[in-house]
Amino acid sequence: MINHNVDITVIGAGPAGLAAAVSAYERGAKNILIIDRNSWIGGILPQCIHDGFGVEETGHSMTGPEYADIYIDMVKKKNINILKETMVLRFDKDKKITAVNKDGLHNIKTKSIILAMGCREKTRWSVLIPGDRPSGIYTAGVAQTLINLYNIMPGRNVVILGSGDVGLIMARRLKFEGANVLGVIEILSFASGLPRNVVQCLDDYDIPLFLNHTVTYIKGKERLESVTIAQIDKKMNIISGTEKEIKCDTLLLSLGLIPENELSKDVGIIIDKITGGPIVNQNLETSLPGVFACGNCLQVYDTVDILSLDAKYAGKNAANYKRKKVNHKLNVIPGKGIRYVIPQIITAPGKIRFTLRVEKPKLKTSIRFTVDSKEIYKKKLPFVNPANMIEIYVDISNDLIKISKKLEVALFD
Amino acid sequence: MKNFQVAIIGGGVIGSSIAWELSKYKIKVIVFEKGSDVASGASKANSGVIHSGINSPYSSLKAHFCVEGNKMFQTLSNMLGFSLKWVGKYVIAKNEEETKELERLKSVGKKNKVPNLEIIEGKEVKKKEPNVPCVAALYVPTAGIILPYEFTIALAENAAVNDVKFLLETEAVGLKKQKNSFFIKTNKGDFSTETVINASGVNCREIVNMLEKPDFHVFPCRGEYLVLDKNYYNLVHSMIYPVPPKELGVLGVHITPTIEGNILLGPSAEFIENINDRSTTRNMMETLLYEAKEILPSLPDKAVINAYSGIRCKLASPAEGGWADYRVEESKQTPGFINLLGIESPGITAAPAIAKEVTKIISKSVDLKTKTDFKIIKKKKRFSQMNSKERSDLIKKDKRWGRIICRCEHVTEAEVIDAFSNPLGAQTISAAKYRCRAGMGRCQGGFCTQHIVRILENEFKTDIKKMKLSSTNSHLFFSRTREKKND
């Protein structure tokens, strides 16, 4: 057993983990340990070789590896300790962490933990597509790893199911490498990726986007031979007679991302059923005191810029962490038209940062915060889209927390 | 031409059981398997149940081999190290009418010498299985579960280390009787053998047809399954079966816990035309969920994480009721040609007993001398099952035990390398998955695919264009994104 005694342990050296560690260091925590299971640091960024990273944060557009380098440099300059190729196996309620790498088993005692495990992709089975089980079906992220990091071409004639951002980016990437991208199939009536990606990755390359469509059958005894797509109605039922078989050798799945929280669940941290991430308070602290969550394991972010901003906040709070007794608790509830709101719990007053998503795209609407049917905040928005996370700062007074139990956030026309 | 004494066609659970049984003797045995690994067909895609013997009619071969096989499993599991749990089974009655059927099953079971059968009231069932409402149930303590692929692989690998030759991706395409031997033509060359064992499962008629006119037909009957997320492992603790439907000669959609904690729903029973059509269908997925909810009303809607199907080899058509007995026999017309026909459920359970019977048949014409150097390789404990000391000790010996490459199942690099070093030479992604569980978890290969590709390339020098998912032509990749230029 290799023993460590640290102030803060960060699980995951992706953009969230690095930003949180840097921020915690700047707030005075010097004894920090970052753990990552990959042989590199930067998480998913090194394979994101397209540009568009850091625009909001730095004012200029970078590729993923360039953006990652900024934080990698900071971590290195501060001599923050990193264990690479190291897997956290579990941690317990007293925050004792067990991890493993080629040197052996590690026991880590830590005052606080920052969860930054990222997310994973949904698979074929999360939507249960019937048919055969051939080779040639990849999640978009795996295809990106293979092409960009391993110099391997997974297919030639490609259909993409799901219009998430990774799928859109991969449509363009495959086109660059000479593949035929036959179309992107989206079950909803709107693309689930960012509007700018629809324009820059599909429209600019004449790749068709089939809205209100899904893949109904997968055919191929050994390698994929074709997929059948069909139109669906408003109730998500397949409209018979609209089936169309598309010959292809590869199906990429971009069905959405799931926050990775096996470690959190194992220790009993309460998970929000909608976000898939831990339920957190205004400090991004989970239901287990001293354990903070940030990055895509908290919620799936649109851009790394906003993700880093929140991660820095989690890092700062972890550095300042002292266990306090909670006297009053205000629950934040998503109301009409709202999918989720973070934080889900408010225990202390202040100017609180809320991040939230709507259920459907909509023009000209307002977001309203109400406590016991009394409006405390309202903001008009020209349009809302589930693909664009909404960020709002609202002052929450001590009185409000003391008197009320429920803060509702809803759309209001 | 290479000469053998026994050639087994088919590396499923039956072929592998026979291969292992014969590997105890000083004879030259070869197994031809057309898939890229053993257990490529129905032996992989079933419920993984060790049946007790209550479901087959008295004095049938199915009942005989099932009851005999059942008794052998604990010893086999201790010896070979595959997992086995005697979780027991409840056949549940929803009304008084069905309760009568429980009595019938119990009496058949008794005649078949199935021990300790008991009919219990619904409220007693509820104490053990709170999610299963019923009027009464037949409790069968001698029913168990295994991982059917793990069992078949253990048998085949043990046979291989005892010098049985396995040829994967090898299909018998021609078979001729010569004077005192058989001539077998395959896509990997020609062979001669004294005895041929037809263990080709659903393809058994085609093999017979190469030598003689078959006196039977095969009616392929597809069974689809749904797999639930491990989070729902607690829904049931034992197997829960309905009273068997009257038609089709099947057991009905049932709920089966697995060794790994995923619960199975299924199988369906659908007679199909194409014996190779192992697809899953939207209709059947919905039917399975509906029927499973009849048994388990609290079954959540979004619990399914995977679906698969297998093909039963039935010798009776639906019009004939779908039930026919096994045929385990040497051909009268062609001595030396041993056929295993219609081996469907309870085939896994029956396999070890059938292998003993086949050995007996062979011993009549071949002198079977016991090997003195017979070896047993027991399945190793997985990293995820070890305690801290075992883990630390192994990492000290070989650093690769400290590198986890499958995040969901906590599989190490050492285990993946060991899986690909299997004595059968199975090299597909599935071969590794079924041996060490890399890629079997929630992310379904999202994290480990790159590591497995890296290991195959670096450790085994496999060309990326030759990497396969699960079968001969299931290639994964087309080329490099950019080929290196030689300047």
Mean pLDDT score, B22-48: 97
- Residue of chain B whose Cα is closest to the Cα of A251: B476
pLDDT at residue A77 is higher than 60: yes
* Beta strands, E only, A140-222: 152-153, 157-161, 180-185, 209-210, 213-219
Give, for A251, the enclosing helix (H) or strand (E).
strand A250-253
> Quick one: tokens of A63?
């590729």
Q: What span, in angstroms and rounded, lies between the C-alpha atoms of B88 and B145?
A: 9
DSSP line for B277-296 = ---B-HHHHHHHHHHHHHH-
CB-nearest to A152 from B400, B468, B480 is B480
CB pairs < 8 Å spanning A and B: 125
- pLDDT at residue number B188: 97
Is the alpha carbon torsion for B272, B274, B275, B278 positive or negative?
negative
* Whole-number pLDDT of residue B250: 76
**Nearest CA distance, A198 vs chain B (angstrom):** 24
- Give the pLDDT score at A326: 86
Q: Which residues of A touch B478 (CB under 8 A)?
A: 153-156, 249
The answer to whether the beta carbons of residues B304 and B210 sit under 8 Å apart is no
Nearest to B134 by CA among B85, B108, B101, B88: B101
CB-neighbour burial class of residue B119 (10 A; exposed 0-12, middle 13-18, buried 19+): middle
What residues of B act catalytically?
51
Q: What's the distance, Cα to Cα, between the start and end of chain B in Å?
A: 46
Q: Which of B37, B262, B449 to mutate to test the interface with A (most CBs of A within 10 A)?
A: B449
Q: Rounded to whole angstroms, how far apart are CA atoms A136 and A110?
A: 44
* B357/B28 Cα distance (integer angstroms): 19
> Contact B167/B186 with Cβ under 8 angstroms?
yes
CA angle B103, B242, B271 (to 5 degrees): 115
Query: Which residues from chain A sit within 8 angstroms of residue B396, using beta carbons?
Result: 104
* 3-state secondary structure at position B314: strand
Over residues B44-59, the mean pLDDT reads: 95
HSE, side-chain direction, 13 A CA sphere, residue A274 = 13
CA distance B419 to B98: 47
Judge contact between A68 and A17, C-beta under 8 A: no
Check B447 against A120: CB less than 8 A apart.
Answer: yes
Q: How do residues B458-482 score in pLDDT, each as one tens digit?
A: 999 999 999 999 999 999 999 999 8
Q: Which residue in this structure is represented by tokens 């997985």?
A: B382
Query: Which of B237 and B230 is assigned the larger pLDDT?
Result: B237
Query: Given strand A350-358, what is the order of strands in its sheet?
Result: A338-342, A350-358, A390-396
Annotate B64-87 with b (16+ C-beta within 10 A) or e (fewer). bbbbbbbebbeebbeebbbbbeeb
Nearest C-alpha neighbor of B338 from the set B352, B320, B324, B326: B326
The Cα–Cα gap between B388 and A60 comes to: 49
- Mutation target to probe the B interface, by most B beta carbons within 10 A, among A87, A149, A152, A214 is A152
Query: What pLDDT score was predicted for residue A373?
Result: 86
Residues in A touching B410 (Cβ below 8 Å): 87, 89
- Distances in Å between the Cα of A109 and the Cα atoms of A87, A93, A183, B254 are 16, 12, 51, 47
Bridge partners, residue A232, by sequence? A238
Contacts of B389 in chain A (CB under 8 A): none
Mutate to test the interface with A, among B383, B447, B467 (most CBs of A within 10 A): B447
Residue that is written with structure tokens 């009568």 in the block: B100
B-contacting residues of A 324-383, CB under 8 Å?
none
- Residue B487 pLDDT > 70, yes or no? no
Judge contact between B335 and B295, C-beta under 8 A: no
- Give the residue among A318, A288, A329 at the shortest CA–CA distance from A16: A318
Q: Which helix (H) or strand (E) holds B31?
A: strand B29-32
CB-based contact, A92 to chain B, within 8 Å: no
Q: State which H helix or E strand residue A292 sits in.
A: strand A291-293
Predicted TM-score (pTM) of this structure: 0.95
For residue A203, report the phi and psi dihedrals to the nearest 5 degrees: -55, -45
Q: What does the alpha-carbon distance between residue A152 and residue B478 come to, in Å, rounded to a whole number?
A: 8
- How far, in Å, CA of A179 to CA of B474, rounded? 19
Look up residue B352 and give its amino acid.
P
Average pLDDT of chain B? 95
Of A121, A125, A249, the CB nearest to B446: A121
A51 Cβ contact partners less than 8 Å away, ≥ 6 residues apart: A61, A62, A63
Of the candidates A87, A145, A249, which has its C-beta nearest B450's C-beta?
A: A145
Region A111-137 average pLDDT: 94
CATH 3.50.50.60 holds for A1-120+256-324: yes
3-state SS class at B272:
coil
Whether A135 and chain B come into contact, CB under 8 Å, resolves to: yes
Quote the minimal CA–CA distance from A201 to chain B in Å.
Answer: 19
Beta-carbon contacts of residue A325 (< 8 Å; ≥ 6 apart): none
Sheet holding A406-412, edge to edge: A345-346, A330-334, A406-412, A362-371, A374-384
What are residue B226's DSSP bridge partners?
Answer: B265, B307
Beta bridge partners of A35: A11, A83
Q: Are B402 and A155 within 8 A, CB to CB? A: no
Query: Band of the pLDDT at A269, cuts 50, 70, 90?
Result: very high
Q: Which domains does chain B have, with CATH numbers?
A: 2-42+149-217+324-363 (3.50.50.60), 83-144+218-314 (3.30.9.10), 383-466 (1.10.10)
Question: Does the pLDDT value for residue B1 go beyond 90?
Answer: no
Q: Which residue among A102, A125, A221 places its CB closest to the CB of B276?
A: A221
Q: Across the interface, which of B445, B470, B481 has its CB nearest the CB of A151?
A: B481
How far is residue B241's CA from residue B90's CA, in Å, rounded to a whole number?
A: 6
Residue of B nearest to A126 (CA): B305
Name which of A163, A219, A210 is nearest A183 in CA terms: A210
- The two tokens of residue B432 are 């590794």
Q: pLDDT at position A126, please?
A: 82
Given pLDDT bands bounded at 50, 70 and 90, which one contains residue A144? very high
Average confidence (pLDDT) over A305-312: 98
Kindly identify which residue of chain A lies nearest to residue B413, measuring between CA atoms.
Answer: A102
- List CB contacts of B55: < 8 A, sequence separation 6 or more: B105, B108, B244, B251, B346
Any idea which of A125-129, A143-147, A255-259, A335-339 has the lowest mean pLDDT?
A125-129
Query: Would the CB atoms of B279 and A130 count as touching at under 8 Å?
Result: yes
Would you list the domain boundaries of chain A?
Answer: 1-120+256-324, 123-253, 327-413
Greatest C-alpha distance within chain B? 83
Residue A241 contacts by C-beta under 8 Å, 6 or more apart in sequence? none
Q: What are all long-range contacts of B364-367, with beta carbons under 8 Å and residues at least 24 apart? A: B365/B194, B365/B195, B365/B335, B365/B336, B366/B5, B366/B6, B366/B27, B366/B194, B366/B195
Count of CB atoms situated within 10 Å of the CB of A73: 12
Rg of chain A on CA atoms, in Å: 22
| Contact check, Cβ <8 Å, A102/B395 | yes
CA distance B310 to chain A (A): 12
The continuous run of DSSP H or E covering B392 comes out as: helix B388-397
Q: Tell me the mean pLDDT in the region B164-169.
A: 98
Ranges A87-96, A200-209, A293-302, B302-311: which has the least confidence: B302-311
What is the residue-wise DSSP string for A209-232? EETTEEEEEEE-SSB--EEEEEEB
Cβ distance of A222 and B442 shorter than 8 Å? no
Q: Do A222 and B472 touch (CB under 8 A)?
A: yes
B275: closest CA among B184, B351, B205, B347?
B205
Give every CB contact of residue A20 below 8 A, 6+ residues apart in sequence.
A10, A114, A116, A292, A294, A295, A311, A312, A314, A315, A318
Of A124, A150, A223, the CB nearest to B473: A223
What lies within 8 Å, CB to CB, of B444 at 6+ separation is A123, A124, A125, B306
Q: Which residues of B touch A128 (CB under 8 A)?
A: 285, 304, 307
Candidate from A125, A126, A154 with C-beta closest to B477: A154
Phi, psi of A7 (to 5 degrees): -85, -50
Q: Nearest residue on chain B to A151, judged by CA atoms? A: B481
* Nearest-by-CA chain A residue for B446: A142
Cβ contact, residue pair A156, B478, below 8 Å: yes
Answer whether A24's CB lies under 8 Å from A318's CB. Answer: yes
Residues from chain A that touch B388, judged by Cβ atoms under 8 A, are 1, 98, 105
Is pLDDT at B25 greater than 90 in this prediction?
A: yes
Residues of A whose CB is below 8 A from B481? 147, 151-153, 177
Q: How far apart are CA A305 and CA A312, in angstroms?
A: 11
CATH architecture of A123-253: 3-Layer(bba) Sandwich (3.50)
- The DSSP code for A90 is E
Which of B405, B443, B471, B483 has the most A C-beta neighbours within 10 Å, making it the best mutation to test the interface with A? B443
pLDDT (tens digit per residue) in A382-396: 999 998 999 999 999
Q: Does A131 touch chain B (CB under 8 A)?
A: yes
Q: Can A1-120+256-324 and A123-253 be said to share one CATH topology? A: yes
Question: How close is the nearest chain A Cα to the Cα of B181, in Å?
Answer: 35
Pairwise CA distance, residues A6 & A190, whole Å? 47
Contact B305 A156 (CB under 8 A): no
**Of B282, B442, B450, which is closest to A150 when you measure between CB atoms?**
B450
Distance from the Cα of B24 to chain A's closest Cα (Å) equals: 36
Mean pLDDT of the residues in chain A: 96
Tell me if A223 and B474 make a contact (CB, 8 A cut-off): yes
Pair of tokens at residue B195:
């005895």
User: A123, B446: Cβ pair inside 8 Å?
Assistant: yes
Task: For residue A79, give both structure tokens.
Answer: 């001599």
Question: d(Cα A329, Cα A394) in Å, to the nearest integer?
Answer: 17
Contact B444 A124 (CB under 8 A): yes
* pLDDT value at residue B323: 93
Distance between CA atoms of residues A367 and A382, nearest Å: 11
What was the pLDDT predicted at B441? 83
B334 — phi, psi (to 5°)?
Answer: -125, 85
The tens digit of pLDDT for each residue in A325-341 reads 888 999 999 999 999 99
Q: Tell me the sheet residues that pair with A21.
A: none
A117: tokens are 């495990």
Interface with B, mutate which of A85, A100, A228 (most B CBs under 10 A):
A100
Q: Do B481 and A152 touch (CB under 8 A)?
A: yes
Q: CB of B248 within 8 A of CB of B268? A: no
Does residue A130 sit at the B interface (CB-CB below 8 Å)?
yes
